[in-house]
Amino acid sequence: MIRLFQTHRIRRIDELEGMWEFTTTSEDVEDSVFPTTYDFSLPVPGCWETHPRFQTYRGHGWYRRKVTVSRSGPIRFEFHGVSHTADVYFDGRLVAHHYNAYTPFSIVIPDAPEGMHELVIRVDNSFSEASALHVPNDYYTYGGIIRPAVFEEIAEVFVERVHVTPIYEDGEWSGAINVLVRNVSSTKRVIEIKGRLADVDFVVGTVEIEAESSIEISRTLAFPGVTPWSHESPQLYLLETRLYDQGIAEPIDDLIERVGFRIIRTEDGQIRLNGQEIKLKGVCRHEDHPLVGAALPLQLMVADLDLIEDMGANAIRTTHYPYDQRFLDLCDERGIYVWEENHARGLSLEQMRHPLFAEQCENCNREMVENHYNHPSIIIWGILNECSSDTDEGRVHYERQLRQLRHMDASRPLSYASHHHFSDICLDLADIVAFNVYPGWYVDDEPGHLSDRIKKWADQAGGTDKPFIMSEFGADGYYGFRAPPRVKGTEERQADIVGKALEHFLERPYISGMFIWQFCDCRVTEGTGWLLTRAMTQNSKGIVDAYRRPKLTYETVRDFYRKDG
Ligand code: ADA
């Protein structure tokens, strides 16, 4: 399942879920040499670490399967996450190269002959020279086709993407609809796009589209009487778009999206949804589970959200990468507010100087916004967690990436989580000021005082009148380790630290939101240095452990989040 609703009624699609053949090759083997035998069979979606032979394997993994084209013509593949580099071969020909585990990509083959074809994907999760964002880190970069993939038989002209931007003016809702149409044929075509949303039928437009090109068609329409989307009432509407080729009565292609009508703004130091101030009571989370790695099935996503909601939280920060769209669909349905961020955690200035850093970040930003634009749950785009926002050279990257995001989406506030409490120089660039703080864990400060001091400093460092968020705070707690002296690492001490922070943060009116680090324990990359030698090779600051068993902190969070309105 790629989404929680049907995305096409006309286009023929086949999910590529199931067992694929699998093998590995050493990195010294030349790129052009294909494996001759595939001795294993692995599930897709899935991570190869779930197989006993590959629990710590890092390198090249080859996936192979057959696809059947029912008629000669254009076909399309959509991969929602291959970790972390993919080379896709169709009948032995390289048709795509993609970097980044956490963003979707698609491939069109304009002239696939009818019959059976071979699809091979060489996946690479090694920390090579070519990787600026996937580096040994405080989470694990798994290997495999970790998110769903689909195979589609498309028309020569098809709907590539639809974006809807909700507008609220003079007490009325409308929506700016933008449709991207692509012509993969060798002739110019005239097409018409029609749609239906919230019981309104409409024509988006009729256009001429050149051979082998794309075109955008836009129209703003009124949608009277829609119920706005909010946490309390997460009302969603299906948007059906149909594409008509000139002279043909029946539509030749379609795309169904889901939208919610809501406006998210920052004003007077507050985050406002549909004009009302909201407070984010959230958790940070990694997509990770010992049994499935980063390839969480729907059941586990639902179970995570059930626990998160049970604690009284209303928000999630997708640390530290864009999420699986099924999870975002669930957040849309449940009215969970989402801070979604690009993929970059704790990169030093040295690491930001990697020659591919800017390009890989910009691709990640673009793929994140293009694919996740319609989710009403996403209320903040974030970038570059704990990177070098305290240097002039780092600022160039923050400025460029925030400009890129603003250009692609002017409807959402932007932020980044900083750990440079008294030396950050990029606060003026963001709409929301956000700091990761660890009072009681990495520093001894009392949480309220620390927060007040940072706020005071941020106000004169470019952050004045902007909402202020505590984007991380927490402490290690090893599941089952309980001891009367409440030493660091016990469940008791973790609950004390998180409880004290919540007590102080929740009572401060200037704090618009908070995200506890973190929802569940997660695997980290093994290495040297304090970060990569964490006990049990995991980050143990979860409120629940890696298997989702609640620690003492769970009750503490539940008490505070539920008590607070
Ligand atoms: C940072 C970082 C997290 C995690 C955390 C910790 O704030 O953003 O990814 O590493 O510290 O546990 O130390």
Atom of ligand 1 nearest to the CA of 442: 13
DSSP 154-205: --SEEEEEEEEEEEEETTEEEEEEEEEEEE-SSS-EEEEEEEEETTEEEEEE
Judgement on whether residues 423 and 459 belong to the same structural domain of the protein: yes
Q: Residues 514-531: pLDDT tens digits?
A: 999 999 999 999 999 999
The number of domains in the chain is 3
Report the residue among 321, 443, 472 best suited for mutation to probe ligand 1: largest number of ligand atoms under 8 A from its CB: 472
Judgement on whether residues 197 and 341 belong to the same structural domain of the protein: no
Atom of ligand 1 nearest to the CA of 417: 8
In a domain, 7, yes or no: no
The radius of gyration computed from the CA coordinates of the chain, to the nearest angstrom, equals 24
Q: How remote is the CA of residue 87 from the centroid of ligand 1, in Å?
A: 31
DSSP state of 42: E
Q: How remote is the CA of residue 542 from the centroid of ligand 1, in Å?
A: 11
Residue 32 reports pLDDT greater than 80 = no
Judgement on whether residues 421 and 528 belong to the same structural domain of the protein: yes
Judgement on whether residues 165 and 228 belong to the same structural domain of the protein: yes
Q: 0.95 cut: is pTM over it?
A: yes
Residue from 141, 161, 423 nearest 295 by CA:
141
| Ligand 1 pocket residue status of 420, Cβ below 6 Å | no
Report whether 412 contacts 378 (CB < 8 A): yes
Atom of ligand 1 nearest to the CA of 474: 12
| Ligand 1 pocket residue status of 385, Cβ below 6 Å | yes
Residue 244 reports pLDDT greater than 70 = yes
| Ligand 1 pocket residue status of 517, Cβ below 6 Å | yes
| Ligand 1 pocket residue status of 472, Cβ below 6 Å | yes
447 vs 494: CA distance, rounded Å: 14
Q: How remote is the CA of residue 53 from the centroid of ligand 1, in Å?
A: 30
Q: Residues 81-96: pLDDT tens digits?
A: 999 999 999 999 999 9
Q: Residues 363-396: pLDDT tens digits?
A: 999 999 999 999 999 999 999 999 999 999 999 9
Q: How remote is the CA of residue 535 from the centroid of ligand 1, in Å?
A: 15
Of the residues 127, 147, 167, the one at which a domain ends: 147
Residue 565 reports pLDDT greater than 80 = no
| CATH for 251 | 2.60.40.10
In a domain, 302, yes or no: yes
In a domain, 1, yes or no: no
Q: Residues 485-519: pLDDT tens digits?
A: 999 999 999 999 999 999 999 999 999 999 999 99
Q: How remote is the CA of residue 387 from the centroid of ligand 1, in Å?
A: 12
Q: How remote is the CA of residue 284 from the centroid of ligand 1, in Å?
A: 10
Report the residue among 471, 539, 540, 543 best suited for mutation to probe ligand 1: largest number of ligand atoms under 8 A from its CB: 539
The SS3 assignment for 9 reads coil
Q: Residues 396-422: pLDDT tens digits?
A: 999 999 999 999 999 999 999 999 999
In a domain, 440, yes or no: yes
Atom of ligand 1 nearest to the CA of 138: 10
| CATH for 304 | 3.20.20.80
Q: How remote is the CA of residue 500 from the centroid of ligand 1, in Å?
A: 19
pLDDT of residue 482: 97
DSSP state of 459: I
In a domain, 298, yes or no: yes
Judgement on whether residues 61 and 202 belong to the same structural domain of the protein: no
Of the residues 190, 224, 259, the one at which a domain ends: 259
Q: How remote is the CA of residue 501 from the centroid of ligand 1, in Å?
A: 16
Q: Residues 433-447: pLDDT tens digits?
A: 999 999 999 999 999
Q: How remote is the CA of residue 517 from the centroid of ligand 1, in Å?
A: 7
Atom of ligand 1 nearest to the CA of 438: 7
Tokens encoding 387: 């990177």
| Ligand 1 pocket residue status of 386, Cβ below 6 Å | yes
In Å, what is the CA distance from 107 to each residue of 69, 131, 270?
15, 22, 42
pLDDT of residue 255: 98
Judgement on whether residues 191 and 69 belong to the same structural domain of the protein: no
| Ligand 1 pocket residue status of 137, Cβ below 6 Å | no
Which residue is closest in CA terms to ligand 1's atom 3? Answer: 138
Confidence of residue 564 (pLDDT cuts 50, 70, 90): confident
Report the residue among 514, 517, 522, 543 best suited for mutation to probe ligand 1: largest number of ligand atoms under 8 A from its CB: 517
Across the range 224-244, mean pLDDT stands at 97
Across the range 335-348, mean pLDDT stands at 98
Strand blocks (E) in 362-501: 378-383, 414-418, 432-436, 468-472
Q: Residues 142-193: pLDDT tens digits?
A: 999 999 999 999 999 999 999 999 999 999 999 999 999 999 999 999 999 9
Pairing of strands 280-284, 276-278: unpaired
Report whether 427 contacts 399 (CB < 8 A): no
Q: How remote is the CA of residue 319 from the centroid of ligand 1, in Å?
A: 10
Report whether 542 contacts 498 (CB < 8 A): no
Structural domain containing residue 509: 265-564
pLDDT of residue 166: 98
Across the range 186-207, mean pLDDT stands at 97
- pLDDT, mean over the chain: 97
Q: How remote is the CA of residue 359 from the centroid of ligand 1, in Å?
A: 24
Atom of ligand 1 nearest to the CA of 320: 9
Judgement on whether residues 329 and 434 belong to the same structural domain of the protein: yes
Atom of ligand 1 nearest to the CA of 385: 8
Percent of the chain with pLDDT over 90: 98
State phi, psi for 101 to the nearest 5 degrees.
Answer: -65, -25
Which residue is closest in CA terms to ligand 1's atom 9? Answer: 138
Which residue is closest in CA terms to ligand 1's atom 7? Answer: 436
Q: How remote is the CA of residue 137 from the centroid of ligand 1, in Å?
A: 10
Of the residues 115, 147, 179, the one at which a domain ends: 147
Judgement on whether residues 269 and 252 belong to the same structural domain of the protein: no
In a domain, 387, yes or no: yes
Report the residue among 286, 435, 436 best suited for mutation to probe ligand 1: largest number of ligand atoms under 8 A from its CB: 436
Q: Who contacts 168 (Cβ-Cβ below 8 Å, separation ≥6)?
A: 174, 228, 261, 263, 274
Beta bridge partners of 123: 61, 86
| Ligand 1 pocket residue status of 288, Cβ below 6 Å | no
Residue 30 reports pLDDT greater than 90 = no
| Ligand 1 pocket residue status of 519, Cβ below 6 Å | no
Judgement on whether residues 467 and 497 belong to the same structural domain of the protein: yes
Q: Residues 98-135: pLDDT tens digits?
A: 999 999 999 999 999 999 999 999 999 999 999 999 99
Q: Which helix (H) or strand (E) holds 206?
A: strand 200-209
In a domain, 11, yes or no: no
Judgement on whether residues 133 and 175 belong to the same structural domain of the protein: no
241 vs 255: CA distance, rounded Å: 5
Judgement on whether residues 253 and 114 belong to the same structural domain of the protein: no
Residue 31 reports pLDDT greater than 70 = no
| CATH for 42 | 2.60.120.260
Q: How remote is the CA of residue 334 from the centroid of ligand 1, in Å?
A: 27
Judgement on whether residues 249 and 334 belong to the same structural domain of the protein: no
DSSP 227-258: PPB-SS-B--EEEEEEEEETT-SS-SEEEEEE
In a domain, 40, yes or no: yes
pLDDT of residue 28: 73
Atom of ligand 1 nearest to the CA of 419: 7
Which residue is closest in CA terms to ligand 1's atom 5? Answer: 517
Residue from 62, 232, 77 nearest 152 by CA:
77
Which residue is closest in CA terms to ligand 1's atom 10? Answer: 138
Residue 29 reports pLDDT greater than 80 = no
